[in-house]
Protein backbone atom coordinates (compact mmCIF):
# COMPACT_ATOMS: atom_id res chain seq x y z
CA UNK A 1 0.00 0.00 0.00
CA UNK A 2 1.36 3.38 -1.01
CA UNK A 3 1.55 5.97 1.76
CA UNK A 4 -0.22 9.22 0.98
CA UNK A 5 1.25 12.58 1.86
CA UNK A 6 -0.68 15.62 2.98
CA UNK A 7 0.12 17.21 -0.36
CA UNK A 8 -1.33 14.29 -2.31
CA UNK A 9 -4.45 14.25 -0.12
CA UNK A 10 -4.96 17.98 -0.69
CA UNK A 11 -4.33 17.65 -4.43
CA UNK A 12 -6.92 14.89 -4.66
CA UNK A 13 -9.44 16.84 -2.56
CA UNK A 14 -8.98 19.95 -4.71
CA UNK A 15 -9.57 17.91 -7.87
CA UNK A 16 -12.83 16.48 -6.55
CA UNK A 17 -14.27 19.48 -4.70
CA UNK A 18 -14.84 22.86 -6.32
CA UNK A 19 -13.18 25.77 -4.51
CA UNK A 20 -15.60 28.70 -4.61
CA UNK A 21 -14.64 32.33 -4.96
CA UNK A 22 -16.11 34.82 -2.49
CA UNK A 23 -18.63 35.93 -5.13
CA UNK A 24 -19.64 32.36 -5.99
CA UNK A 25 -20.11 31.63 -2.29
CA UNK A 26 -22.32 34.69 -1.77
CA UNK A 27 -24.42 33.81 -4.78
CA UNK A 28 -24.90 30.22 -3.64
CA UNK A 29 -25.73 31.29 -0.08
CA UNK A 30 -28.25 33.91 -1.19
CA UNK A 31 -29.97 32.03 -4.02
CA UNK A 32 -30.22 28.40 -3.01
CA UNK A 33 -30.76 25.76 -0.37
CA UNK A 34 -27.33 26.05 1.28
CA UNK A 35 -25.69 25.28 4.59
CA UNK A 36 -22.35 26.66 5.73
CA UNK A 37 -20.21 24.42 7.95
CA UNK A 38 -17.24 25.74 9.94
CA UNK A 39 -14.77 22.90 10.55
CA UNK A 40 -12.29 24.88 12.68
CA UNK A 41 -11.49 23.99 16.27
CA UNK A 42 -13.66 25.32 19.10
CA UNK A 43 -10.94 27.75 20.26
CA UNK A 44 -10.66 29.30 16.78
CA UNK A 45 -14.41 29.81 16.55
CA UNK A 46 -14.64 31.26 20.07
CA UNK A 47 -11.74 33.67 19.47
CA UNK A 48 -12.62 34.88 15.96
CA UNK A 49 -16.34 34.30 15.43
CA UNK A 50 -18.11 32.43 12.69
CA UNK A 51 -19.57 33.21 9.27
CA UNK A 52 -23.11 34.45 9.73
CA UNK A 53 -25.61 31.56 9.90
CA UNK A 54 -22.89 28.89 9.74
CA UNK A 55 -22.96 25.84 11.95
CA UNK A 56 -19.84 24.65 13.72
CA UNK A 57 -18.84 21.01 13.39
CA UNK A 58 -15.12 20.46 14.08
CA UNK A 59 -13.29 18.58 11.33
CA UNK A 60 -12.76 15.56 13.53
CA UNK A 61 -16.48 15.14 14.19
CA UNK A 62 -17.93 15.42 10.67
CA UNK A 63 -18.19 11.71 10.04
CA UNK A 64 -19.90 11.20 13.39
CA UNK A 65 -22.33 14.11 13.00
CA UNK A 66 -23.53 14.08 9.39
CA UNK A 67 -25.12 11.22 7.46
CA UNK A 68 -26.67 11.80 4.01
CA UNK A 69 -30.48 11.99 4.00
CA UNK A 70 -30.70 11.21 7.71
CA UNK A 71 -33.05 12.74 10.23
CA UNK A 72 -30.14 12.63 12.69
CA UNK A 73 -28.35 15.51 10.98
CA UNK A 74 -28.29 18.71 13.07
CA UNK A 75 -29.76 20.52 10.06
CA UNK A 76 -31.97 19.34 7.22
CA UNK A 77 -29.37 18.27 4.65
CA UNK A 78 -30.68 16.36 1.65
CA UNK A 79 -29.50 15.70 -1.90
CA UNK A 80 -30.54 19.22 -2.96
CA UNK A 81 -28.63 21.01 -0.22
CA UNK A 82 -25.45 22.85 -1.16
CA UNK A 83 -22.86 22.32 1.57
CA UNK A 84 -20.21 25.03 1.82
CA UNK A 85 -17.32 24.10 4.10
CA UNK A 86 -14.67 26.44 5.46
CA UNK A 87 -11.80 26.52 7.94
CA UNK A 88 -9.06 29.07 8.69
CA UNK A 89 -7.12 28.86 5.43
CA UNK A 90 -8.94 26.44 3.11
CA UNK A 91 -6.88 23.28 3.70
CA UNK A 92 -8.93 21.49 6.36
CA UNK A 93 -12.08 22.51 4.50
CA UNK A 94 -10.78 20.89 1.31
CA UNK A 95 -10.18 17.63 3.17
CA UNK A 96 -13.50 17.92 5.03
CA UNK A 97 -15.43 18.57 1.82
CA UNK A 98 -13.79 15.55 0.17
CA UNK A 99 -14.78 13.45 3.18
CA UNK A 100 -18.39 14.61 2.89
CA UNK A 101 -18.42 13.67 -0.80
CA UNK A 102 -16.95 10.27 0.07
CA UNK A 103 -19.77 9.83 2.61
CA UNK A 104 -22.33 10.38 -0.16
CA UNK A 105 -23.22 14.07 0.05
CA UNK A 106 -23.85 15.40 -3.44
CA UNK A 107 -23.32 19.18 -3.57
CA UNK A 108 -20.22 19.90 -1.51
CA UNK A 109 -18.00 22.95 -2.00
CA UNK A 110 -14.91 24.41 -0.39
CA UNK A 111 -15.72 27.98 0.65
CA UNK A 112 -12.07 28.38 1.70
CA UNK A 113 -10.75 30.31 4.65
CA UNK A 114 -12.40 32.44 7.31
CA UNK A 115 -9.81 35.20 6.91
CA UNK A 116 -10.48 35.42 3.17
CA UNK A 117 -14.21 35.72 3.90
CA UNK A 118 -13.60 38.51 6.42
CA UNK A 119 -11.13 40.31 4.12
CA UNK A 120 -13.81 40.38 1.39
CA UNK A 121 -16.39 41.91 3.74
CA UNK A 122 -18.39 38.75 4.42
CA UNK A 123 -20.85 38.81 7.31
CA UNK A 124 -19.69 37.23 10.57
CA UNK A 125 -21.13 36.79 14.03
CA UNK A 126 -19.99 35.76 17.49
CA UNK A 127 -20.18 32.04 18.14
CA UNK A 128 -23.03 31.21 20.50
100-126 b/e (C-beta count within 10 Å ≥ 16 → b): bbeeebebbbbbbbbebbeeeebeeee
pLDDT in tens, the chain (128 residues): 667 888 888 888 889 999 999 999 999 998 878 999 999 999 999 999 999 999 999 998 888 888 777 776 777 788 889 999 999 999 999 999 999 999 999 999 999 999 999 999 999 998 77
DSSP conformation class of 61: G
Q: In the prediction, which pLDDT does 85 show?
A: 97
Amino acid sequence: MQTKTLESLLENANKEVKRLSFEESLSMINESNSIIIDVREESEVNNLGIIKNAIHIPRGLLEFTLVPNSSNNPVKIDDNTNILVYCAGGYRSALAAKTLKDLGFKNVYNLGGYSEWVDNGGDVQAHT
